[in-house]
């Protein structure tokens, strides 16, 4: 599976001292990826979305917003070298299983590189092929910032609501969802997550103490070798991200999300990161893409920080279940 549509990055600022991500991200190829701390991978696909389509345009919008985002994080290590592998060529007129299989071929390559892949979605169904290659190389946990559990049973074809059920069935060892909303999920799926030993951290818990909330998610990653972090932008309150498949009230704030993302991506076991469900056609403007790009910026900052001694990188205590 090839990567296509590799873009040339430029920054809109004319001030040479006003460094933006457009100044530091470079187009690259897999054979050169080991020279970067992280590489971007676009996934233009929304063929499995349960709600409103539009996320296939997410990668382009996220890149545009990221290019204009400054690279400086207060009191943190500067962002390191970042490459962009381009977009995965995903079949749009095939079944969801065929699309997932095609994506998995490319993400297997991405995970074999000596760097951290950062996936720009695309709908949430692609979380499955983004994570499943990791399951062959040791124990794996996933932290999902999302309003929903996304543990629906697969009925016919997978959907944007099934990725973590699929991953559990393939051997996922630990799972935590942060920012889950009341009246957005079902009892049956909550019980499924509980039976599998997963952690559910509500949006109310985040509002009470964002750092304690993300630390609960990290605590669920008991002794796993690798941790994958996902951000579904519908975890945010609807007015902040109108351009998502399923915007609803009662979500967390961007400030809360960014703090938690940076902490979760500062661990030395981070194996990948993604932002999904950015759907530019569903809004007038670019608020959603800008929020998603900032989440990517915080993740890239966390990846840079993971090389220092003061990051929360060690294994953390917790209690997981078995849903394999």
Taking the domains of the chain in order of start, what are their residue ranges? 3-305
Question: Would the pLDDT of 52 be above 60?
Answer: yes
Q: What percent of the chain has pLDDT over 90?
A: 85
Confidence (pLDDT) at 319 = 47
Question: Would the pLDDT of 109 be above 80?
Answer: yes
Average pLDDT, the chain: 93
Of 87, 108, 4, 104, the C-alpha closest to 45 is 87
Q: What pLDDT digit, counting tens, does each position of 308-321 carry?
A: 644 444 333 334 56
User: pLDDT grade, residue 239 (50/70/90)?
Assistant: very high
**pLDDT average, residue stretch 56-75:** 95
Do 177 and 205 meet the contact criterion of CB atoms below 8 Å apart?
no
Cβ-based neighbour number of residue 310 at 10 Å: 7
CA distance 176 to 146: 10
Q: What pLDDT digit, counting tens, does each position of 149-196 carry?
A: 999 999 999 999 999 999 999 999 999 999 999 999 999 999 999 999
DSSP 214-271: HHHHHHTSTT-SEEEEEEEGGGB-GGG--SSSS--SS-B-HHHHHHHHHHHTTSTTEE
**pLDDT average, residue stretch 197-225:** 97
CA distance 115 to 306: 13
- Asked if CATH classification 3.40.50.300 holds for the domain at 3-305, the reply, yes or no, is no
3-class DSSP state of 88: strand
Sorted by sequence, the CB contacts under 8 Å of residue 199 that are 6+ apart come out as: 175, 176, 177, 216, 217, 219, 220, 318
Question: Would the pLDDT of 280 be above 90?
Answer: yes
């Amino acid at each position: 599976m090839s990567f296509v549509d590799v873009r040339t990055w430029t920054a809109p600022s004319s001030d040479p001292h006003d460094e933006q991500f457009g100044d530091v991200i470079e187009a690259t190829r897999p054979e050169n990826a080991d020279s970067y701390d992280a590489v971007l991978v676009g996934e233009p696909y929304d063929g499995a979305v349960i709600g409103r389509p539009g996320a296939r345009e997410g990668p382009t919008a996220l890149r545009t917003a990221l290019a204009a985002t400054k690279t400086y994080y207060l009191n943190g290590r500067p962002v390191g070298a970042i490459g962009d592998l381009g977009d995965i060529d995903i079949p749009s007129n095939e079944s969801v299983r065929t699309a997932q299989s095609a994506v998995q071929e490319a993400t297997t390559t991405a995970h074999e590189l000596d760097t951290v892949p950062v996936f720009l979605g695309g709908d949430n169904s692609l979380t499955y092929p983004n994570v499943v290659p990791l399951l062959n190389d040791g124990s794996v946990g996933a932290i999902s910032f999302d309003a929903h559990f996304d543990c629906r049973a697969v009925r016919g074809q997978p959907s944007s609501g099934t990725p973590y059920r699929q991953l559990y069935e393939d051997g996922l060892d630990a799972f935590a969802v942060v920012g889950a909303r009341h009246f957005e999920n079902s009892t049956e799926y909550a019980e499924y997550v509980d039976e599998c030993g997963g952690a559910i951290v509500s949006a109310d818990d985040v509002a009470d103490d964002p750092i304690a909330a993300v630390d609960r998610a990290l605590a669920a990653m008991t002794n796993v070798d690798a941790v994958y972090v996902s951000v579904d932008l519908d975890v945010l309150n609807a007015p902040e991200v109108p351009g998502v498949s399923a915007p609803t009230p009662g979500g967390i704030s961007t400030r809360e999300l960014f703090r938690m993302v940076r902490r979760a991506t500062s661990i030395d076991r981070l194996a990948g990161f993604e932002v999904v469900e950015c759907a530019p056609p569903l809004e007038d403007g670019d608020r959603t893409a800008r929020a998603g790009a900032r989440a990517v910026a915080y993740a890239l900052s966390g990846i840079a920080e993971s090389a220092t001694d003061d990051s929360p990188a060690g294994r953390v205590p917790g209690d997981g279940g078995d849903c394999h």
